[in-house]
Structure 1
Amino acid sequence: MEIERKFLLAAPPDPGHPVLSAARRVQLEQIYLSVGPAGEERIRHWRCGDTERFFHTLLTPLRPGVRTIDEREIGPEAYARLRRRGDPGRQPVVKERWLFDWRGRLFELDIIREPASRACRILEVQLDKERQQVSLPEFLLIDREVTGHPAFSNADIARG
């Protein structure tokens, strides 16, 4: 089970900030195969430096900010085969993910580039409990929390 909170940034982050300059950066392409009330099926191409990985994921929502995830690593051939099954109503989501620690918690800052009409910056944090307090990084300008707002789900962003 994944418990996650999401925040929309109001301004681009400062990549020169010491925390962000030390962040691990991953390039992601995410393709949705199906999306419905019962859940989502997606594939993801993950690239960090010279390392590439491919994943197939089933996500089932339980309540806003909480869902179950069944994810397995697949090979590049399976990814290419599944990619052809992509939902025609959704575009690939292309983003750069910056992973960094802040006060003992791992944060993911997604810089969403494609589809260009939905480009934005979303900060995500995984929690252990639903009502857990979280200390947000002061060096990021947060616009608002968007946990549970459908317009800020990657599946909706993929609509363009």
Structure 2
Amino acid sequence: MMQIENTYFDLASSCDSNCLVICDRGTMDGSAYLAPEQWEKMKCKNKWNNVELRDNRYNQVIHMVSAANGAELFYCTDTHTTRYEGLEHARDLDRATAQAWVGHPYFDVIDNSTDFDRKVMRMVAAVCNRLDIDAGDRLALDSHKRKFLVHSLPPDSVFPEFQDFIVVHDYLVTPNRQMQARIRRRGQNVRWDQTNCCWDMETGNWTYTHTIRRPEINNERPELKMQISAREYKLLLAQRDKDHHTVYKKRRCFLWNNQYFQLDIYDEPCVPRCEGLLLLETYTTHLKKDDLQLPTFLEIEREVTHERQYSMYNLTKLPPTDGSSQLLVDSDTEHKEAMLSIFSTPPKTHLTNGTC
């Protein structure tokens, strides 16, 4: 599979025009069909790690939930020569396949809450949104980011299966206040330094991202996202904005009722306003709290989507020297953003096994 993918990736890289590579399966899917010890043995033998297989290899992952989970009347094996699983087995494999991709920074789950035609349209819309392709009203789904303040962190045992990452954000100097730029490193398998009581940033497996938010144009703020190398990250770090603190947080990614959530747990060292801060985020078309099924094992204090003090830009801002209080608008709190994703390699979207 990987060799076939690499062949197409290389062909796409040689194209002069823009090229989108869509993979019907992906490397992590194999883990759903193997015992955990077999999968770990295979990774060890080939010197693989999840960050490379899952996060760096694909720019976006879309999981099409099986008809066996939510559209049972349409699930059958009679007309499929390669499908033999009964309903329960199919559900288990579907959950395992989705779980294998939890942790990818751009992971979308397309469930069976609509008819099949609409489901396909939602999938196409997710790809178009990621590539900033204007599909018009036909695919407009009004999916927005919503943010919730969590009271306290419960024990790990109450969470569904999750993936934890260490995330470090730094804002960069920009020509004017209407423009924002930041870099992010996101890693797994990072060792905790007991002596210095901090994460050892020289360990683990990392991905690096450079984000630029342009000034507002026609009530929209274009956003450029670029996957960068470790070397480029270190060079950009020299442009760090001294008016902002560095953000250290643990990001916990998990699925709950076919909804993808990210829980940001702010870590030391951090500014006083971030001590003990827990923010839950998700993208959804449900605009009312009662319409969105939030994890029942978390004590949600309130929604803070529109509260500017909880945007990362303002959380990291150093207080003015004159003692005044300033909160700047961060496009994290705005619902209408133009997303323009620019990749250092041709975009590769992975569609996990879906319902047909």
Using the TM superposition, give the Cα deviation of residue 107 of structure 1 relative to its aligned residue in structure 2, in angstroms: 0.1
Determine whether 1:141 maps to 2:299: yes
- Of residues 171, 190, 197, the one that matches 1:32 is 171
- Alpha-carbon separation, structure 2, partners of 1:43 and 1:60: 15
Using the TM superposition, give the Cα deviation of residue 158 of structure 1 relative to its aligned residue in structure 2, in angstroms: 1.0
Counterparts in 2 of 1:151 and 1:18: CA distance versus 1, 3 Å:
closer
Deviation string, structure 1 residues 68-124 (Cα, Å, up to 9, x no partner) = 542111111111111111111101110000000011110000001242412200000
Percent identity (aligned): 25
Across the two proteins, how many residue pairs are aligned to each other? 154
- Alpha-carbon separation, structure 1, partners of 2:224 and 2:286: 20
Determine whether 1:46 maps to 2:186: yes
- Of residues 151, 162, 168, the one that matches 1:23 is 162
Determine whether 1:121 maps to 2:278: yes
Counterparts in 2 of 1:15 and 1:59: CA distance versus 1, 3 Å:
farther
- Alpha-carbon separation, structure 2, partners of 1:23 and 1:99: 6
Using the TM superposition, give the Cα deviation of residue 146 of structure 1 relative to its aligned residue in structure 2, in angstroms: 0.5
SS of 1:16 mapped into structure 2: helix
Using the TM superposition, give the Cα deviation of residue 39 of structure 1 relative to its aligned residue in structure 2, in angstroms: 4.3
Structure whose residues are more often helix by fraction: 2
Matching residue of 2:343: none
- Of residues 85, 96, 114, the one that matches 2:250 is 96
Structure whose residues are more often strand by fraction: 1
Letter in 2 for 1:29: V
Matching residue of 2:287: 131
- Tell me, yes or no, if the aligned pair for 1:107 and 1:124 is still in contact at 8 Å: yes
Determine whether 1:71 maps to 2:71: no
Matching residue of 2:100: none
Using the TM superposition, give the Cα deviation of residue 40 of structure 1 relative to its aligned residue in structure 2, in angstroms: 2.2
Structure 2 residues not aligned, in runs of 5+: 1-128, 130-142, 190-203, 319-356
| RMSD (Å), alpha carbons | 2.4
Determine whether 1:59 maps to 2:198: no
- Alpha-carbon separation, structure 1, partners of 2:296 and 2:247: 27
- TM-score when scaled to structure 2? 0.40
SS of 1:38 mapped into structure 2: coil
SS of 1:53 mapped into structure 2: strand
SS of 1:77 mapped into structure 2: helix
- Alpha-carbon separation, structure 1, partners of 2:307 and 2:177: 14
Relative contact order: is structure 1 or structure 2 higher (C-alpha 8 Å, sep ≥ 6)?
Answer: 1
